[in-house]
Each structure stands twice: as C-alpha cells, then as structure tokens.
Structure 1
Amino acid sequence: MKRVVVLSIASLLASACVGPASSLAAGLCRAGETTYFSCRTAQHTTISLCGSLGAMQYRYGKADKVELAFPEDAWQGSQQLGYAHYTRYRTERSEVGFSRSGVDYALFDDSEDGHRSAGVRVTTAEGTDHEVACHGPVEGRLDTLGKSLRCDADNALNGGNCP
C-alpha cells in the first residue's frame, strides 16, 4: 500500500510540473487552442500551428521563448496562411505557407510509401532554401485544413487550381 501511495504522489507531482499548456503533445499551443500541427526538431525547438474559433497562428521556438509567431494577430491567420495539397497513390503532400519580410515559409507534412516527413522550409529573398525537419513524433495533420485556410494558387502542389 505504501508503494502505491508513493507512486501516486510522484505521478501527481510530475503532472503538476508539466501541466496541459506546456505538455510536449501541445507543443507551443496554449490551453483552449487546437494543435493542428506540432513537432520537435533536432535543435530542441518546436514547430506548431495552433488555432481556436477562427484564429490560427504558426509558432516556432521554445516554450519559454517563441522566436516567430505568424501572423502577429492570430485572427488574421485564415487570410494570411495559404494551404496547398497534392495526392496520388501512396503519396500525400500538404503545406501551409506564408511570407514575412521577404522570406517564404512552408510548413510541410508529406507522406510517401508509408514514410512521413514534416517540418518547415524557409526560402530567403535570394532563393536560399533551409529546411528544419521534425525529429520524432508529429502531432496533427495539415491535410485537415483545406476548408479552414485560403487556397494558395501560387503553390505548385495545387497545380494552379483553387476552388
């Protein structure tokens, strides 16, 4: 009986320290927000796409310091974040993209032949590409956002076709 009580107290203390807002599963999303996408990188940063009731925001950084949040006003997310999607047999590619200060960002979630890759691609005004890949589990799926975000007609995944 004593052992069960000690284990229960240890479990309660561990859950009190982590809390729902800072859990690894929630990434950089706050309590009350939906985690549309979240993963950790090899650099121990987190990439998240969070939202609630019409608001949506991309976040990159650590729980104690978000380095980039776009758009600044999450209520503008559905207008400023663009969605692209492509599918064929055993392949699915989804992206949520935006531009900020001459830099293009593409949050991607790709699956091909059972292999999933995800992260964010950053393209500078000079055309230099840099990819920050997810390292470990990925929570959420970008392919569910097709009706929530504007279609990005300029993204090749859409083949120039937006409804």
Structure 2
Amino acid sequence: MKRLLLLILITYVILVSGCGEIIKQDDANDQNNDYNSLTTTKNYDNGSNEYESVYFQDDDIISMKYKGQFIFQDVYEKEVRINMEILENLNEGRIYQLYLSPLQGVPVERLSIGYFYESGDTIYKINPTEANLNMIKSSGNIPEDSVIVCQNAEIQDTLGEDERGWHQYIEVNGDEIEYHSYNNLVETGYYESFTWKKGVGLVFYQTGYGAERASIRLKLISNVKTNQTDTANQAINNPNKTLSLSPETDSKNEDRENLCTDNEELLFSFMLANSPKTLSVCISKTQPDYIVYRLGKKDKVELEFPENKANSWSEFSYSYYLRGGGAGNEGMDLNYLTFENGGYEYQIYQEYTAKDNMTNVGIRITEKATNEESEIKGLSNSIEGSLINLRDNKKIKTEIL
C-alpha cells in the first residue's frame, strides 16, 4: 500500500514538472496552469531574521554559468546561465525558481528547471501554485505534492533496478548530494537528476527522455556575482541570452554592428528587414546610469532617444506576457519596450510563439493624434540580446499583460 501511494505521488509530481512538447507521450503533459503565478513575483521579505542558505551561501549569486548540451531538433553545446529568482525569503527557508533564459528550439516550458523551497539542509521541489506558496509562507508546512530533491540522508529507491515504474532516490557523497528520478514504464520515459553542493548550489542538472531525446544536460562552470540590475545586462557576454539555434549562429551575431558605444552594454538589437539600418537598445556601463534607443547605421545614427539621458529609465516602459505549455497550449513569450517621442508612440517588440517556434522582432509606431499605426519589421536571424533581461530590472516601469 505504501509503495502504491508513493508511486501515485511521484507520478503526479512528474506530470506537473513541465515536460516538453517535442516528444508527445503519455507521461509528457503540459506544465501546471499556475506556472505564471510565481514567475511574476518579485518582492520578498528582507527582514533582520532573513534565512541563510546552506547551498547558496552568497545572496549576490543569482546567475550561474554552465556548460550545456541540448538535444532537440538540433544537437549542440554552448555555455548558458541558470538564473535564480528568489520569490520569498522566510525566517525558516527560501522559495525560489531556477530557470534558463530562452533558447530557440527548446520548448518554453522546458526552460524552467523548477520551483524550490529550501529549509535547513533540505530542498523540496514544489508544485508552483498559489495555494502551495501560501501554505509554506503562513505555516511553514510542506505541501503534500512536494518532492525532496536534496537532504543529508540518503533515500533508497523503493523499486528494484529493473522493476517497471517511477524511480527516485538520493545519494550523498560528502558535500555533494545527488537526486535521481526516472520512468522506465516506456522506452522513452522521462528522467531528471540534480546534483547539489553545499556552499555552491546546483552543480549538475539533466533532464530528458529515454534514448537521449529532447534532453538538457548542464554542468556548472562558475557562480557569477550579480545584482538585480546587472542581470538585465548579461546578454552581452552570454550567448544564451541571444535567441539562437547553434554556436554558428552566435559567431555570426558577434560580427554584426550594433549601435552601442564602448561605454555601453547591449540590451537588444536587430537589423531592419529590407534595410541596412539597425535598431539597438543600450545601457550604460558606468555613471551616469541610462538606457538609450538608437536607429540607423554605425556611421550615421538617425534617431536617438532620449537626447537628455538624465532620468532616461523613466522615459521607457516594459511589458510582457508569458504562457507555458509549448505548441499544444499555444505557448508564447511576448515582450515590449515602449516610449513616446514627438507625438508618436514607439513599441519595440520581441514575440516568440511555440506553435511556429519562431521569434518575430520589429517596431510599431503609432501617431498619437490620429492613432494611425505603421510597422517596421526586423530580421529574426540578426537578433542580439533580449528584452527579457528587463524582467529583473527595478529601474524601469514593468507591466505584466
């Protein structure tokens, strides 16, 4: 009876953990509909009794660099970053999400590694619902559908190695703790593994299906100390922030001319369709702190906004909409950067749809007096950076659509 209950519990957790849409099978379901309910949460308690993490001991580390291998429609290796978004810092623990930035060819719902509650030396992977979040916040109780993915004590697999079913177990090797789970009911069963190290964090992660289909494999290279505003600028040195399909695509992007100066970091840039012009959004590296929009060519910038960069962040607004579930749920990731100038509203857009597995970019210009709209489309294969990096930036007004 205990074994049956455990199998039911494990099966439920796997079903809501976000399986990909590329492989369609009985155990690959859409992520829980409450996926977005936590991704938009930014505020947490920073009181004097703030929890001190056993695994992530430096609170400034919110981005970690990994060597990644991705097997989807294409097979390639590249360096990527896992980002940590702290949702709640409580007296007895911390709730956070770990996620990858968008990668073209990887389903949107596979970008989220999961939501976790860490308390003491134990880490639980939690089902991301408001009810579960509120339970932990209000009482410190662990939701019944949570799974222990890290603790000091080993957990033995309740099934034999060759026995059919959902397997899960924990192995402890000094400061490193390994969690493994897999389904061998079918040949293409889902699997997931975490390796945690005290004082370091997540050092290894892999997920996918049997026969290495639709798989992700990540090995830690280094922790990166950042702050919330720095996170928005990491696309420049991080190929993962560029929506690209292969390392070859990245090398081409490096040769393109964006309109940022030596004293600025690139946030987002693309070339216009049927035009030699480029649109770039840049952020200053040093003081004074500013964000600026430019359109034109390297030797001739036709429009720069704002001219006076003082208080430039207040001149822009950022909005976005995120829906998981892959192509089957018409998943999408829509991002918009908007400003007004000379009686016109300018809306830079970056729109990804899982159904088409495409990212469209461009700028829509609306005359305020007449409400007439025109659109200038960009070349998707020329994208550098991402507007998504503004989600963690506290300086800009942000709206969730």
Normalising TM by the smaller chain, what interval?
0.7 to 0.9
Q: 2:279 — aligned with what?
A: 47
Larger Rg: 2
| Structure 2 residue 360 is matched with structure 1 residue 117 | yes
1:70-113 deviation per Cα after TM superposition (whole angstroms, max 9, x unaligned): 11123432111111111102310111100111100011111111
Unaligned runs of 5+ in 1: 1-22
Q: Distance in 1 between matches of 2:296 and 2:388?
A: 23
Q: Distance in 1 between matches of 2:394 and 2:296?
A: 24
Instruction: State the aligned residue count.
Output: 133
> How far off its partner does 1:33 sit?
1.0
Of stretches 69-78 and 121-130 in structure 1, the one that deviates more from structure 2 is 69-78
- The change in CA–CA distance for 1:25 and 1:149 in structure 2 (over 3 A counts) is farther
Q: From 127, 132, 152, give the equivalent of 2:371.
A: 127
Percent identity, aligned pairs only?
Answer: 26
Q: Distance in 2 between matches of 1:99 and 1:72?
A: 13
Unaligned runs of 5+ in 2: 1-253, 325-330
> How far off its partner does 1:48 sit?
0.3
> How far off its partner does 1:25 sit?
3.3
| Structure 2 residue 320 is matched with structure 1 residue 85 | yes
What is the one-letter code of the residue matched to 1:106?
Q
> How far off its partner does 1:32 sit?
2.7
With normalisation by structure 2, the TM-score equals 0.32
Q: Distance in 2 between matches of 1:139 and 1:94?
A: 15
Q: From 58, 72, 75, give the equivalent of 2:293.
A: 58
Q: 1:79 is paired with a residue of what secondary structure? A: helix
Q: Is the 8 A contact 1:81 1:149 kept in 2?
A: no
| Structure 2 residue 266 is matched with structure 1 residue 31 | no
Q: 1:74 is paired with a residue of what secondary structure? A: coil
What is the one-letter code of the residue matched to 1:139?
E
Q: Is the 8 A contact 1:123 1:129 kept in 2?
A: yes
With normalisation by structure 1, the TM-score equals 0.74
Higher strand fraction (1 or 2): 1
Q: 1:7 — aligned with what?
A: none
Q: Distance in 2 between matches of 1:55 and 1:75?
A: 7
Q: Distance in 1 between matches of 2:394 and 2:265?
A: 13
Quick one: higher RCO (CA 8 Å, sep 6+), 1 or 2? 1
* Aligned ranges 1:133-144 → 2 under 5 Å: 133-135=377-379, 136-144=381-389
Q: Is the 8 A contact 1:108 1:119 kept in 2?
A: yes
RMSD across aligned positions (CA): 1.8
Q: From 305, 319, 325, give the equivalent of 1:70.
A: 305
Q: 2:390 — aligned with what?
A: 145
